[in-house]
Structure 1
């Protein structure tokens, strides 16, 4: 039986790009069912891999500029100029979690300045519009570093420690921010955010509470960080532009979405939907008998604007079953709408070991799971 399989995963965080994951899935299927027609359609949600996926689908010209990583070390920050004259940058490539070792993931010390400087370079290049992919960031500074990178004039409260006149850590800067001055007209209306989540900025469902622990925010520091983010947001609303921190997506990338909405009057778009539309996912879906999607972990957050949830929703409208593949899953995956799920990591395997062996684990799991894939047809 000839079957048309659309393979549309997101990246597997820390181990596989979405394109590499799609290639491995296709190879595993063809090994056990050579008659299958596999169509690779790797996706992203504004996070890691967004730049590469859009370049693969749309073409354009890649550029780099020297920018600081979250710890201030200079790296080449990539950006893509699309054929229509617009540009794409992504936070993961210049201030991303992937750029740091485990020991370096200390949000109190990390800055988003690199993204601000890269955005500044891109705008100075004369592009007509910039899409900023948010996701995979290491920072939780509500865009305070981004403001510095864009050239904002920041004023801080005087330190009360003898001999210390300026705040040292990023958290201290956030807590002591007093005033922001910048020419917002220079950025207004030419920036769009591609958010990977729908969370608000602050509160129980906000950036710090939900995603801070993944970035290294200790549980006892969550209230202090959330208060600091709230303080920065209040200053921006007073001095720059009054935008609501409760708008869905404002919590993306540790509050970078909020900062860009404030400083650049950026509109907040769902990154996964943008990438699906830009890469022609709906057209590719039309000829599919089954869709295979996936990411590193499928859990409750999968429904919050992630790639997998968008693929499921689009396929469901056309009555096409979707199989999910993940390194690990959480209880409740049945509510995602997946017809079946393939977990590639043994339960007793450490996450670090699974990530190091992701290619082999994925290939083996897909080949062994063909009966479950074919049963969805």
Structure 2
């Protein structure tokens, strides 16, 4: 609990990333800088947030400390890139699938979930195990893959094979011919945890291919092919992988990150709420109990934001404590009534700050987000500070 000043406000800044522009830490610091220009005597507590997607490791590193280790890996098309693992003193390693499987690593013309692979994630998991981690927490989100972890299995030492005994090509489409696994995943008894707030199963109308495949470049024909291919792969995993749970294709969370949730479950791991894990790590509940105002935000505050995403969780927790909650976003398309019912007191948009869509506001919001957030931080201080 903080010691409050006599008149100053206590403000909690806990935004998510602004996808495609700024990580959560930079969002929070930009708003804070603007606020301090107007009300430097107020107390600002900066607690950036993430679910399992991009920024997961950086946010946890700020909260938990530990050692960040760079790891050579590959992107969804097998090109060299660098990821990292966060190693903490309790024997836990944290990593994020988006550093190797992220959609942001692909140009628009390269997006094809029939061909993209999770092999790079397997290299990150291997590095965590080789560094002695007893628990490996994998943040899932923002992926450009749809191979149910087949590439990851290959990197861990269990290569998917066709019925002639040859290794399959990478990508979800090749799994239509999967007939078995060659080898056993090398995890050295480490436990895997999938950090995700997606509860979709691997297969079916609400599964990875149907719901998320089109976002990654899949056509309707691709979706049908991929769903059938993942069904075949799930059957092979249940048959050949010791400890794989029955009914893998229908388990909640299995559809996260193109089926990487199912891969973790097949390896005897479990799914856990990504935002829940982060909020515990940063002490969000204690911070909410001690403030007069909460500022959160994300790139696009829309109808999806109120269905289990970071902003909805923060706003609901603030509402339960009777604390006003302000959302700062790149753009806002959620109606005031809907936002208010979720606990949001007011919303501020970078696009509107820069003149609206008809006056180039979108381009300015994408090109100068830190400048706009600083200006909005000053505006918030003028409106809210005592």
* Change beyond 3 A, Cα 1:365–1:238: same
Measured against aligned partners, the alpha-carbon deviations of 1:200-224 in whole angstroms (never above 9, x if no partner) come to 2233332233322332223553333
- For residue 355 of structure 1, the aligned residue among 354, 366, 371 is 366
Q: Indicate yes or no: 2:231 matched with 1:230.
A: yes
Deviation for aligned residue 1:13:
0.7
Helix, strand or coil: the match of 1:109? coil
Mean alpha-carbon deviation: is it higher for 150-159 or for 131-140? 150-159
Q: Using structure 2 for the length normalisation, give the TM-score.
A: 0.86
Helix, strand or coil: the match of 1:110? coil
Deviation for aligned residue 1:166:
7.5
Helix, strand or coil: the match of 1:98? helix
Deviation for aligned residue 1:352:
6.0
Helix, strand or coil: the match of 2:250? coil
- For residue 336 of structure 1, the aligned residue among 308, 327, 342 is 342
Query: Following superposition of structure 1 onto structure 2, how do residues 128-139 of structure 1 map, counting pairs within 5 Å?
Result: 128-139=134-145
Deviation for aligned residue 1:372:
6.0
Deviation for aligned residue 1:188:
5.6
- Alignment match, 2:105: 99
Q: Indicate yes or no: 2:310 matched with 1:300.
A: no
* Change beyond 3 A, Cα 1:328–1:224: farther
Helix, strand or coil: the match of 2:161? strand
Q: Indicate yes or no: 2:53 matched with 1:43.
A: no
User: Is the Cα contact below 8 Å between 1:324 and 1:340 reproduced in 2?
Assistant: yes
User: Is the Cα contact below 8 Å between 1:299 and 1:329 reproduced in 2?
Assistant: yes
Helix, strand or coil: the match of 1:13? coil
Unmatched tracts of structure 2, length 5 or more: 1-6
User: Is the Cα contact below 8 Å between 2:326 and 2:344 reproduced in 1?
Assistant: yes
* Change beyond 3 A, Cα 1:304–1:313: same
Unmatched tracts of structure 1, length 5 or more: 160-164
Partner Cα distance (1:303, 1:229) in 2: 30
User: Is the Cα contact below 8 Å between 1:94 and 1:115 reproduced in 2?
Assistant: yes
Root-mean-square deviation over aligned CA pairs:
2.6
Measured against aligned partners, the alpha-carbon deviations of 1:201-252 in whole angstroms (never above 9, x if no partner) come to 2333322333223322235533332333333223323332134433332221
- Number of equivalenced pairs: 369
Partner Cα distance (1:358, 1:20) in 2: 10
* Change beyond 3 A, Cα 1:298–1:220: farther
- Alignment match, 1:149: 155
Partner Cα distance (1:187, 1:301) in 2: 39
Helix, strand or coil: the match of 2:12? strand
User: Is the Cα contact below 8 Å between 1:54 and 1:278 reproduced in 2?
Assistant: yes
- Alignment match, 1:322: 325
Deviation for aligned residue 1:316:
2.7
* Change beyond 3 A, Cα 1:125–1:34: closer
* Change beyond 3 A, Cα 1:369–1:84: same
Query: Following superposition of structure 1 onto structure 2, how do residues 1-377 of structure 1 map, counting pairs within 5 Å?
Result: 2-157=8-163, 170-183=171-184, 186=187, 190-240=191-241, 241-243=244-246, 244-263=248-267, 265-331=268-334, 333-334=338-339, 335-345=341-351, 346-348=356-358, 349=360, 354-370=365-381
- Alignment match, 2:3: none
Deviation for aligned residue 1:2:
2.1
* Change beyond 3 A, Cα 1:120–1:185: closer
Helix, strand or coil: the match of 1:310? helix
Helix, strand or coil: the match of 2:179? strand
User: Is the Cα contact below 8 Å between 2:293 and 2:325 reproduced in 1?
Assistant: yes
Partner Cα distance (2:234, 2:264) in 1: 11
Helix, strand or coil: the match of 1:320? coil
Q: Using structure 1 for the length normalisation, give the TM-score.
A: 0.88
Partner Cα distance (2:178, 2:291) in 1: 53
Deviation for aligned residue 1:256:
0.3
Deviation for aligned residue 1:52:
1.0
User: Is the Cα contact below 8 Å between 2:160 and 2:168 reproduced in 1?
Assistant: no
* Change beyond 3 A, Cα 1:367–1:214: farther
Mean alpha-carbon deviation: is it higher for 304-313 or for 76-85? 304-313
Partner Cα distance (1:352, 1:115) in 2: 33
